[in-house]
Amino acid sequence: MTAIPDLAAIEARDAADPLRHMRDRFVLPKGVIYLDGNSLGAASKDVFIELEKAAKEEWAEGLIRSWNKAGWFDLTLELGDKVGRLIGAEPGETVVCDTTSTNIYKALHAALSMRPDRSVIVAEGSSFPTDLYMAEGVAATRPGVTIRLEGVAAENIEDLIDDSVAVVLVNHVNYKSGELRDMAALTAKAHAVGALVVWDLCHTAGAMPVDLNGANADLAVGCTYKYLNGGPGAPAFVYAAKRHHDQIQQPLSGWWGHARPFAFTQGYEASPGIRRFLCGTQPILSLRALKGALDVWDDVDLDLLRKKSIELTDLFIELVEARCGEFGVKLECPREGARRGSQVSFSHENSYEIMQALIERGVIGDFRAPNVMRFGFTPLYVGYRDVWDAVEVLRDILATGAWQDKRFAVRAAVT
Amino acid sequence: MTAIPDLAAIEARDAADPLRHMRDRFVLPKGVIYLDGNSLGAASKDVFIELEKAAKEEWAEGLIRSWNKAGWFDLTLELGDKVGRLIGAEPGETVVCDTTSTNIYKALHAALSMRPDRSVIVAEGSSFPTDLYMAEGVAATRPGVTIRLEGVAAENIEDLIDDSVAVVLVNHVNYKSGELRDMAALTAKAHAVGALVVWDLCHTAGAMPVDLNGANADLAVGCTYKYLNGGPGAPAFVYAAKRHHDQIQQPLSGWWGHARPFAFTQGYEASPGIRRFLCGTQPILSLRALKGALDVWDDVDLDLLRKKSIELTDLFIELVEARCGEFGVKLECPREGARRGSQVSFSHENSYEIMQALIERGVIGDFRAPNVMRFGFTPLYVGYRDVWDAVEVLRDILATGAWQDKRFAVRAAVT
């Protein structure tokens, strides 16, 4: 066993961290080590400024005039491009709107409309469930559409992709295990048999560089409230490669996706470009908060972000195994940093209770059924010392059995 | 010609107005007479308080814990019931979520799922267009579904409703003409042949008492950013009568509508009750602002609201016709108050330019193609003197031709 780093070495890493200054952009509660930014990102000061401006100036003073004067109507595209820069999209390929679930629905319909002779959707049995529920929703009204699940119909998703497949719906990083898929390879595999791929980027947008266009991706969706720090339930995004835009049809064909939304014509005519993924009027206050959150990213080098993310998660694994290994915690995510998202999962037979005890002590991660403790590491506001301190709290809880009075706590969690 | 009221009489009406104190709950810009609350309602002070609390306490300090501790997850139902009280719904029949367009989509699918042997959707050619676009979206993926339009297939909607009709999608008040439909009569007509009705309440929720259950209504949708003052793009609502809940199926079957959203099971199982209309994670900041807006309604008597609404609109019609009739303005909404929403429409061949001139002078209404000036009267913050002053500004613009330099302004508007 090699020696683990000591506290002086940890603090030296914080001091040398080129992203350290980003932490000052965020407001974090005192006494908390926040390892749940992969569920709900923290608030930045930029958000408060934008939100107050949106409510008190644009809405209260500007009233209806702000739809044009404050640029509300184009916010979905403006913010889409800000997200697009972080996921390898060109301007005009990403739009922010609605929810991830709804955008999955649109993207699946769009893919099916581009492959009218095919009727199979391939997805992952281990997916975050809403992806599967939305695929079910698409299949429920679209005649002949069937769903093939990895882990059910075959062990590996690659073995499910043949020339009957219209679209593969796949998570870039698995919400529970943190496993990262090879976007370029899987996309190439699907394209080789004429299938399209919808990437769910919920756990990679803002967690690492994503290169949709580099991977020749077709469609993608994701949320903005995890690593992008857009706020609780902040509107989601949807991406489509430019080469597909003209062929995309999706049934949530509301007036915001119309070619001429203010002509008030009787018949629907899809807008050119990514705007055809829009449907109804978007929640502007939440969008304006998101704008503040995305402005923070203007100053972030995503390669540095990824480097720090791997260092933080590597360190967490190393320290937990060294300091807590004797108490029966077991690594449940890839050990190799390059194959992992910005999160670490450990199992223990009392994971739920241990996580409750951690939260009570100010170390906030989350629990995923049946027995996983999930810890997210947002490189913008988590430091190396945080990792050290979190592990010491975990060790103390395990060593003293301080989780045992949590056994009867009500279980509830939100991803 | 009877004499129009004089300014003293107008001011006496303001002094005697039992809703006058409600105006103090709102923040309105100086020098503005706001007659566009039917497009975007004004901000209340309550909204600012809730929004700041949501952002700075619940999100920034509470972080992920606020999903439970601050009640975020149940906000859609809590606010649904607050809206429900204003539209004649029982608790548990209304939920706030997504957009009006998306909720129309869900409601139409729900109705079609309850009438599997029928395939006709009846709608209004004069509808706000997104209702028609969403019906098109439903028909595009659901085999055999066709749309019959009032004004195209027949002059009156009643003549289109026969036993092939699954669902009638109809606006309670028309967005442009302001005409109010008889909810109970049309619902009975549809029920007599086994059809269901989806009511679009965008222009009646918060504008007058609505009695969905009294009318034996099936389904309804509406927005919260007009008369309910929830803020730009605030999430919409959807209602279903309790007797229908168990039969409702809708394809936006996301995890928030699942019977056990946190069990993370592979298969979708619809939640009991109105929650099955939920899909994805909702924009909490916009919802928390909406909570502030809806709290204002706890103190409002809707019968008094309707009485004042009719008085304001009657007065506006009377004064415009008396003071501006000579300049070619023509009433384009019902003259009888009981048949009208809380808005008045006048046409003029230069409506667009006149409206631009009005807005420049601080009288904010809006323009609807091709030639309608639309004025909304929100009884919570519009007074009788406002009506008088607005008409005087309109008269001055018409008499002096001050609208003529607006001819080349770019046309843009948002409902």
Is A200:A131 a contact under the CB 8 Å cutoff? yes
Other CB atoms within a 10 A radius of the CB of residue B159 amount to 12
User: Is B384 in the active site?
Assistant: no
Which residues 228-287 of chain B have a CB within 8 Å of chain A? Answer: 231-236, 249-256, 258, 262-268, 279-287
Residue A4, min C-alpha distance to chain B (Å) = 31
Given a cut of 50, whether residue A415 has pLDDT beyond it is no
- Torsion sign across C-alpha atoms A252, A256, A258, A264: positive
Instruction: Name every residue whose Cβ is closer than 8 Å to that of residue B401 and which is 6 or more positions away in sequence.
Output: none
Which residues 289-328 of chain B have a CB within 8 Å of chain A? Answer: 289
Predicted complex ipTM: 0.96
Is A317:A80 a contact under the CB 8 Å cutoff? no
Which residues share a beta bridge with A363?
A: A33
User: Is B133 in the active site?
Assistant: no
Other CB atoms within a 10 A radius of the CB of residue B306 amount to 17
Given a cut of 60, whether residue A411 has pLDDT beyond it is no
Distance CA(B347)–CA(A128), nearest Å, equals 53
Is A101 annotated as ligand-binding?
yes
Q: Which two tokens stand for residue A340?
A: 């992992």
Q: How far is CA B250 from CA A114, A276, A385, B57, B329, in A?
A: 24, 22, 48, 36, 46
Is A128 annotated as ligand-binding?
yes
Options 3.40.640.10, 2.40.128.110, 2.60.120.10, 3.40.50.970; which CATH number does B49-299 get?
Answer: 3.40.640.10
> What is the mean pLDDT of the segment spanning A314-322?
98
CA neighbor of B318 nearest in space, from B337, B303, B300: B337
Portion of chain A with pLDDT greater than 70, in percent: 97
Return the axis-axis angle of helices B384-400 and B7-16, rounded to nearest 10°.
150
Least CB-CB distance to A48: which of B56, B130, B268? B56
How many residues appear in chain B?
415
CA neighbor of A220 nearest in space, from A207, A209, A236: A236
* CB pairs < 8 Å spanning A and B: 292
Q: How far is CA B104 from CA A47, B147, B197, in A?
A: 32, 14, 11
Distance CA(B313)–CA(B329), nearest Å, equals 16
Distance CA(B111)–CA(B90), nearest Å, equals 20
Is B6:B13 a contact under the CB 8 Å cutoff? no
pLDDT score recorded for residue B413: 45
Q: Which two tokens stand for residue A34?
A: 């926040």
The series of mean pLDDT values per 10 residues for chain B, 415 residues long, is 86 98 97 98 98 98 97 98 98 98 98 97 98 97 95 96 98 96 98 98 98 98 98 98 98 98 94 98 98 96 98 98 96 97 97 96 94 97 98 97 75 46
Active-site residue identified among B105, B225, B227, B277:
B225
Q: How far is CA B287 from CA A41, A283, B88, B339, in A?
A: 18, 9, 21, 32
Is A378 annotated as ligand-binding?
no
pLDDT score recorded for residue A413: 45
CA neighbor of B333 nearest in space, from B180, B182, B202, B179: B179
Residue B343 region, left (φ>0) first, then alpha (ψ -120 to 50), else beta?
beta
pLDDT score recorded for residue B330: 97
Q: Which two tokens stand for residue A224?
A: 């903005």
What residues does each domain of chain B span? 7-30+301-406, 49-299
Options 3.40.50.2000, 3.90.1150.10, 3.60.60.10, 3.30.565.60; which CATH number does B7-30+301-406 get?
Answer: 3.90.1150.10
Distance CA(A119)–CA(A102), nearest Å, equals 20
pLDDT confidence tier of residue A369, bands split at 50, 70 and 90: confident
pLDDT confidence tier of residue A141, bands split at 50, 70 and 90: confident
Alpha helices in B296-401 (DSSP H): 302-324, 351-360, 384-400
> What is the mean pLDDT of the segment spanning A78-85?
98
pLDDT score recorded for residue A405: 83
Residue of A32, A63, A73 to mutate for B, most B C-beta atoms under 10 A: A63
Give per-residue pLDDT as tens, A371-381: 999 999 999 99
Least CB-CB distance to B47: which of A55, A100, A130? A55
Give per-residue pLDDT as tens, A147-187: 999 999 999 999 999 999 999 999 999 999 999 999 999 99
Given a cut of 70, whether residue A412 has pLDDT beyond it is no
Distance CA(A343)–CA(A36), nearest Å, equals 9
User: Is A374 in the active site?
Assistant: yes
Which residues share a beta bridge with A344?
A: A375
Is B159 annotated as ligand-binding?
no
Distance CA(B29)–CA(A312), nearest Å, equals 50
Within an 8 Å CB–CB cutoff, is residue B381 touching chain A? no
Given a cut of 80, whether residue A86 has pLDDT beyond it is yes
pLDDT confidence tier of residue A408, bands split at 50, 70 and 90: low
For tokens 């909570």, name the residue. B291
Is A26 annotated as ligand-binding?
no
Q: What residue in B sits closest to A126 (Cα-Cα)?
A: B266
Please work out, in degrees rounded to the nearest 5, the angle formed at the alpha carbon of residue A37 by the alpha carbons of A383 and A82. Answer: 100
Mean pLDDT, chain A, integer = 96
Distance CA(A55)–CA(B292), nearest Å, equals 12
pLDDT score recorded for residue B408: 59
Q: Which two tokens stand for residue A272?
A: 């050119």
Q: How far is CA B403 from CA A253, B398, B407, in A?
A: 36, 7, 8
Within an 8 Å CB–CB cutoff, is residue B113 touching chain A? no
Distance CA(A2)–CA(A186), nearest Å, equals 37
pLDDT score recorded for residue B406: 78
Q: Which two tokens stand for residue B90?
A: 């029982």
Q: What residue in A sits closest to B367 (Cα-Cα)?
A: A262
Give per-residue pLDDT as tens, A108-120: 999 999 999 999 9
CA neighbor of B40 nearest in space, from B227, B177, B214: B227
pLDDT score recorded for residue B145: 97
Residue B2, min C-alpha distance to chain A (Å) = 36
pLDDT score recorded for residue A414: 44
Return the axis-axis angle of helices B100-114 and B129-141, rounded to nearest 10°.
50
Interface touch A232/B39, C-beta < 8 Å: no
For tokens 């808005």, name the residue. B343
Other CB atoms within a 10 A radius of the CB of residue B188 amount to 13
A110 burial level (CB within 10 Å; 0-12, 13-18, 19+)? buried
Is B205:B233 a contact under the CB 8 Å cutoff? no
For tokens 């926040």, name the residue. A34
- Torsion sign across C-alpha atoms B78, B83, B84, B85: positive
For the beta sheet containing A120-124, the strands, ordered from the edge strand earlier in sequence to the opposite edge, are A94-96, A237-240, A219-222, A196-200, A165-171, A120-124, A146-150
Instruction: Name every residue whose Cβ is closer than 8 Å to that of residue A358 and which is 6 or more positions away in sequence.
Output: A364, A365, A373, A390, A393, A394, A397
pLDDT score recorded for residue B186: 98
